[in-house]
Amino acid sequence: MSKRIIIAGGGTGGHIFPAVAIAGALKQQDPSVELLFVGAQGKMEMEKIPQAGYRIEGITIAGFNRSSLIKNIGLPFKLIKSFFQVSGIIRAFMPDAVIGVGGYSSFPVLRSAQAKGIPTFIHESNSFAGKSNILLGKKAARIFVASDGMEKFFPADRISVVGNPVRSVIVQSKLTREEGVRFFGLDPAKPTILSTGGSLGAKGINEAVAAHLDDLEKNGLQLIWQTGKPFAGQAASLCAGKKDCWTRDFIPQMEYAFAAADIVVSRSGAMSIAELCVVKKPVVFVPFPFAAEDHQTVNARNLVDKNAGLLVTDGEAMDKLVDTVLALAKDKEKQELLKTNIGRMAVTDAGDRIAGEILKAING
């Protein structure tokens, strides 16, 4: 009998991409395994997971809205409804295990599985565990974490430190810089900057880039600019007619963007960092200032202290970001140092290790 596994979670690329990496590793180690994703209706996973070739069921769930309390009125009803939906999904699919990767939808799915005695596994990508993962961790069979020191959140005897799983298309990419640059219709002779604010975009980064587009052009640099949906229209009109600027709201083929880039501007979420370590690029980090416990700043400082990245705060981005990029573009020695040091922190087998432990546990 083939084993059946549900993978629950999503909301951002930081949850979706590791989920896809884990799914790929499970399929590689046991091609007979049946996988079903469960995500939040209307969220990014409902589009991205089918694109990656997997089946997904959507549930009606939303997170707590900190900026507008009135929007939380329907939350208890959504939560109750989501538990009924999850119950139906679990009854129909009859999983042997459930994996939670974080995001709104992982809580009701893992909670329901735990109530039914189905083994649950958690992947926590950040060095500060999310509240729902802390609750779920009490009954989880295994908690996979990216960094040491997570005993303050989870039972020590059930923690496995594995790092963060990076998508195989990025880990296994053999693309040359020239192939990457040509994919975006740009000039291989010019230094290329990749600006990415994560899958949902980054206002502080986008506004700083928009205000200094001419400075990049004047200094002979070209730009690959992933903006996220909110800024896409504005960026498209700013880049119209400029041959040194390629922009979209989302880059599905991120392996080409990484291959093309000489310098990357990025948020410092755990998954972005995991990917940037694997592709060994000089990075200017602009941490998202409203992340829980300000963990993105903690993440970025950790790399800066190891001479593995540069840091510009979101508040300083408008004045300092592009100047920092221009200075780095002129300093080849600094680029090489940052590349070497960030590359030393790469973890390429996290997905395989997670898949191996889960399959071993459910196959007894």
Q: What pLDDT, on the 0 to 100 scale, is given for residue 11?
A: 80
Residues in contact with 172: Cβ distance below 8 Å, sequence separation at least 6, in sequence order: none
* Rounded-to-integer distance, Cα 295 and Cα 271, Å: 13
Tell me how crowded residue 61 is: count the other CB atoms within 10 A of its CB.
27
- Taking only the tens place, the pLDDT of each residue in 188-235 is 999 999 999 876 679 999 999 999 999 999 999 999 999 999 999 999
**Alpha carbons 98 and 122: distance in angstroms, whole number:** 9
Tell me: the pLDDT tens digits for 136-148? 999 999 999 998 8
High-pLDDT (> 90) share of the chain, %:
77
Reported as a pLDDT band with limits 50, 70 and 90, residue 65 is low
Fold matches, 4-165+348-363 and 170-343: yes
Over residues 114-163, the pLDDT tens digits come to: 999 999 999 999 888 888 899 999 999 999 999 888 999 999 999 999 99
Amino acid of residue 50: P
Query: Domain boundaries in the chain?
Result: 4-165+348-363, 170-343
Specify the CATH superfamily of domain 170-343: Glycogen Phosphorylase B; (3.40.50.2000)
Tens of pLDDT, residues 303-357: 999 999 999 999 999 999 999 999 999 999 999 999 999 999 999 999 999 999 9
Q: What 3-state DSSP class applies to 310?
A: strand
Confidence (pLDDT) at 129: 87
- pLDDT level of residue 293 (50, 70, 90 thresholds): confident
Sheet of 222-226: strand order equals 245-248, 222-226, 192-196, 263-266, 283-285, 310-311
Burial class (CB in 10 A: 0-12, 13-18, 19+), 339: middle
pLDDT at position 74: 64
Spatial CA neighbour of 254 closest among 164, 165, 178, 169: 169
Question: Selecting from 3.40.710.10, 3.40.50.2000, 3.90.226.10, 3.40.50.2300, what CATH number does the domain 4-165+348-363 have?
Answer: 3.40.50.2000
pLDDT band at 64 (very low <50, low <70, confident <90, very high): low
Q: What is the pTM of this model?
A: 0.86
Tell me the pLDDT of the chain averaged across its residues: 92
